[in-house]
Amino acid sequence: MMRGKGIVNRLAAIAAALLVAGPLHAEDGYALWLRHAPPEGEGRSRLARLGGLIVANNPDHPTVALAMRELDDGLAQLRGGAAAADGAATGIRFDCHDPAVARGGAFRVMADKASLRIAAGEPVGCLYAAYAILRELGQGVDPAKLALDEAPAMPLRMLNHWDNPDGHVERGYSGRSIFDWWHLPEKLGPRMIDYARANASLGINAVVVNNVNARAFMLEPRYIAKLARLADAWRPYGIRVFLSARFSAPKDIGGLATADPLDPQVQAWWRAKADEIYAAIPDFGGFLVKANSEGQPGPQDYGRTHADGANMLAAALGMRGTVIWRAFVYQAEDTTDRTMQAYAEFQPLDGQFADNVIVQIKNGPLDFQPREPFHPLFGAMPKTRLMLETQITREYLGQATGIAYLAPLWKEVLDADTGRGGPKPKTVAQIVSPVGMAGVANTGSDRNWTGTHFDQANWYAFGRLAWNPSLTSEDIAREWTAQTFTRDTETVRRIAAMMLGSRDLVAQYTAPLGLAHLMGTGHHYGPSPWVCDLERPDWNPCYYHRADKDGIGFDRTAKGSGALAQYAPSIAAQWADAATIDEKYLLWFHRVRWDHRIKGGDTLWERLAAEYAWAEIGLRGRIQSWEGLRPHIDAERHAAIAADMARELKDARWWRDASMAYWQSVNGLPLPAGARPIPESLEAYRARTFPEAPGQ
């Protein structure tokens, strides 16, 4: 039975009650989607009949006890701090070892007038059920009509942190790292528990705690002890810890002369290291490895393959854990199209990886751009366990400025037909669902966790899609909005509409018509299409847009790099003709003249100018829409979001002006009729520097 509450929970319930008592009160966003704000009127009376008595057949299990407490506390907050109605409360019963329910987090929720029954095949399913009940109630569902039967589509639902032990976050835009390695293991801050709660509420069950550009000393005993403290704290929430491992660690900290994966001494060192970790963390998840990419060490340093390296680590872990081997690779000496290199290196290795190896593939073949076609490796390695890697943090999409709701981007990939997989070709979601999905985390030390309030929606959407990739972007936006801001139906509709179009607006002013990688070097923030002189050709925006007086775009057809041939023939055929291709991918696959006619009759130059203009119009309209929602949003968050939107509009104008100035410098064409003048010279835009930009 769960009746008493600590002072923290009572204060939280009182705070929740204040949300419906008179004017809206300021919120800082720390509670995320777990605010559990009370409904008004009939909704509150219905909730008064729910709860009061919560029992379980194994209440002493840490995860079951946690599920009971989370549900009890959440219901108290939803009731505005009021107790359940005497004599009329619906009893709640957890059965967390029901043999009729699958293991792995599945659960069922059944309601009638007198009881609410939660059944799961194992304790973590009960925890997920508790959060699912609160999610439904948070959207205004009648508790008497609760009926849920869910199971996660993907077994591994993982966050990858690009956090460094010194607190700096690579590509992080919401403050410093949430991990306090200096004070661990003796001190574990409450933020670590709140982080685990948020993840568990979405079904996220794995966390890689350090940067893929890993430091070898993270494998030393003192860091294993720190990692063990995190693992102990997160275990009741169903979260396993993983570690990014530096491939050269046997040399860096092990005293060996080599890290050759076929060397017996190297193999023995990794076996001993794995045994050491499992002695401290019995449920350690395994290693994430970035190898032979961007200068990181790897098996190719010794003439070995990615499979050789991954399988050596897999043997060290045994079936206790998993090696996740990233397919994001490109070499300085490789002069082929960078988007082709991962396919060329990995596809021939299909079937050569050990059973406990996962190859982790980015959503697109380049690097988390605002818009890319899906990665050609999906569907091309049927004998290999493949996992989708996404980026929750917005490295190339404005960072923590404005709004860029990424569920539509991820849905484009998940729903993409690969053209491969037999008579009925498989989608990317069907290929990765047996394995999992990873997201580069966007959390940081900012009070609201993610830098902007709307970036919380990307963390939320990632978890929901990893649990169920068939959910729609709109459904996720609506349920997040109802829990985060308000249940008012019209306000939810308007906010969801703003969210759904936001990523397209960012793509319009940063990557129109299939352009890519036009961002500044280092911080990846503002426009720098003029950068052509960096050490590596594929670090330069010029490498990707290839603009000159004759035309613009990267020819990836058979007449160009041939990258199109890496896709199944049925898919390649859709993108092979510049006259019929979806224009969102035109300049990704084709180089065309400035006077090339786009569908509708405009020239490419005219349409390019229009894309920038349409983005500005869309952003101004969104600002007006947000202003109209002022009465429905607390003042603190409304003002913060309004400021973010104003900054994004300013950035969009900068992107347009600087980009158009550069395109004009190479094509010599006048601005299309009706286009507003460019206020500054190209030289002025090129002279801008941003040493204060985050994430460098």
Query: Is 488 among the residues known to form the active site?
Result: no
Query: Is 122 among the residues known to form the active site?
Result: no
Q: Kind and range of the H or E element at 223?
A: helix 221-234
Closest C-alpha to 473, from 448, 454, 507, 497: 497
Q: CA 43, CA 93: separation in Å to the nearest integer?
A: 22
In three-state secondary structure terms, 332 is coil
**What is the distance in angstroms between the CA of the first residue and the CA of the last residue of the chain?**
51
Pairing type for strands 156-160 and 147-150 reads unpaired
Are the CB atoms for 297 and 247 separated by under 8 Å? yes
| Cα-to-chain-centroid distance, residue 540 | 26
Q: CA 147, CA 129: separation in Å to the nearest integer?
A: 11
Nearest-10 Cα torsion for 484, 489, 491, 495: 70
Query: Is 367 among the residues known to form the active site?
Result: yes
Nearest-10 Cα torsion for 581, 585, 587, 590: -40
Q: What angle do CA 292, 295, 297 make, to 5 degrees?
A: 50
Q: Up-side HSE of residue 586: CA atoms within 13 Å toward CB?
A: 21
Helices (H), 511-634: 541-545, 569-575, 586-589, 604-628
The single-letter code of the amino acid at 170 is: E
Q: Which of 150, 263, 276, 294 is catalytic?
A: 294
Q: CA 632, CA 198: separation in Å to the nearest integer?
A: 25
Specify whether the backbone of 598 is left (phi greater than 0), alpha (psi in -120 to 50) or beta: beta
Q: Which of 27, 136, 367, 538 is catalytic?
A: 367
Q: Which of 122, 308, 337, 395 is catalytic?
A: 395
Q: Which residues contact 448 (CB under 8 A, 6 or more apart)?
A: 28, 29, 30, 174, 456
> Which residues are catalytically annotated?
294, 367, 395
